[in-house]
Amino acid sequence: MPSDAKIALFFLGDINYDARCFNMLQTLANASHKIDVFHNSNEVNKKENNQKINIHNLQTKHSSGWLRFYDWFAQIKKIKIGKYQTIIAADLYSLLGLNSRNKKTTIIYDVRDFFDEVSALNNRPFKKMIWGLLEKIQIKQVNTI
């Protein structure tokens, strides 16, 4: 990746409270990359004052459930991803919104757990099956995990 690459990170969560994403952003910024972060927060960003990182808060109208995911998905679809050399999907919700609209853009899936292995869904077999199926379909569009 060129040292001045334009990168986008998508995360359906609050970057202020996710150390893993935040540390990755710091590493990329220290390597002279310019990063646009798209996350969901009800607060003003507290942590970042780095000029290489632009944080965009995409508000969702719903606090939980399928409607929250759908709202997030719809907001991602409005963003022009063609201007980024690399896109990092920090969760499945973001990955599903990205699809491979631009073959020149590298998509990285920063997976923490594959959805068919998440223990929170063990007692919810239908949800586990649906999310696992969506992940297996979309992961084919990813350049690297």
Q: How many CB atoms lie within 10 A of CB 35?
A: 23
pLDDT in tens, 82-98: 889 999 988 888 888 87
Mean pLDDT over each residue of the chain, to the nearest integer:
80
Tell me the residue ranges of DSSP E strands in the chain.
6-11, 34-39, 53-57, 86-89, 106-109
- DSSP code for 144: B
Q: What mean pLDDT is predicted for residues 79-83?
A: 84
Residue 38 corresponds to which amino acid? F
Higher per-residue confidence, 122 vs 7: 7
- Distance separating alpha carbons of residues 41 and 34, to the nearest angstrom: 21
Residue 145 in 3-state DSSP?
Answer: coil
Q: Is the pLDDT of residue 63 over 80?
A: no
Q: How far is CA 97 from the centre of its chain?
A: 9
In the chain, pLDDT over 90 holds for what percent of residues? Answer: 9
Task: List the end-to-end C-alpha distance of the chain, in Å, as a whole number.
Answer: 15
